[in-house]
Chain A
Amino acid sequence: MLEKLPMTALYGGVLIGLSATMLLAFNGRIAGISGILYRLLFSHLDAYERSWRLAFLVGLLAGGYMLLPIEFELRKGYSSLLLACSGLAVGIGTRIGNGCTSGHGVCGIGLLAGRSIIATLVFIVSGIITVTILGSFTG
């Protein structure tokens, strides 16, 4: 099991934590990706509120791009129906639950926000149940 614990996972996590720290310390904002995306798409924002969110998302893609190509094998032939249902559930869930892995899992827990601690436990357990059920269908 230990060989499955690459240090890059830890370094990547530290980078994510530093990013959230930076946004909070300088701008006073939460690095929650779903919230940033939905506010940008669905809310009427002034120029600054729009620009910083857009800049963060552009940065997210650029930062990811800098470390490409990836070394893992790409998943091929995965069910489009599952992908579509997944996207819908993630979209509705993170909007009504006000956050995803980043907002609740990283920033919220860091702030010791009770809502975020509960939400994170719930979505991890819900994810585990989903993958377990999915696995029993696909073998």
Chain B
Amino acid sequence: MQRVIIALLAGIIFGAGLVLAEMVNPIKVQGFLDLFGNWDPSLILVMGGAVTITLLSSRFILRRTKPILADRFHTPVRSLVDRRLILGAVLFGIGWGLSGYCPGPGLINAMINPTEAMVFIPALIIGGWIGQTLSAS
């Protein structure tokens, strides 16, 4: 139960961060990706802020033998850079650029721009299911 409350709080902080940082504004995200056009660099601060925190904290956290409330760390075990990873990242980048939405901001946009979210979110879920099927085969 404690761990579910932690997950809820982590979700709340994450969602608040995405809105505060304006990651939920697809025009801003596309502006960040528009490097050769009217470039808007502010998302560097979002990524920079987030990664600075995780880089610093991960050093301390992983010194522990286990998490505070669980019996082990579920950190990624795979280290191989394979075709699937690259193909997936290429596809994700294409999708990200086409709309300006990645998954988190896409979900939150159900409350901000429902007209776009009602197209994006079902397509995201169908895409995830197709990817799941491809991965299983």
Residues of chain A at the chain B interface (Cβ within 8 Å): 1, 4-31, 33-34, 37-38, 41-42, 48, 51-53, 55-68, 70, 72-76, 78, 80, 82-98, 100-102, 104-116, 118-120, 122-132, 134-135
Contacts and interface: CB of A to CB of B under 8 A. Distances in A.
A26 B131 contact: no
B130 to A, nearest CB: 5
B97 A130 contact: yes
Size range of the chain B interface in the assembly: 35 or more
B97 A115 contact: no
B50 A89 contact: no
A108 to B, nearest CB: 7
Given A61-B108, A122-B86, A130-B97, A12 B116 contact: no
Contact of A10 (B28, B35, B46, B103): B46
Given A83-B123, A86-B98, A92-B127, A59 B132 contact: no
Contact of B120 (A18, A33, A87, A105): A87
Select the residue from A11, A88, A111 with max chain B CB neighbours within 10 A.
Answer: A88
A53 B113 CA distance: 24
B28 to A, nearest CB: 7
Contacts of B106: 87, 90
| Across the A-B interface, the 7 shortest Cβ-Cβ residue pairs | A91-B127, A97-B88, A59-B11, A12-B21, A110-B54, A87-B123, A126-B93
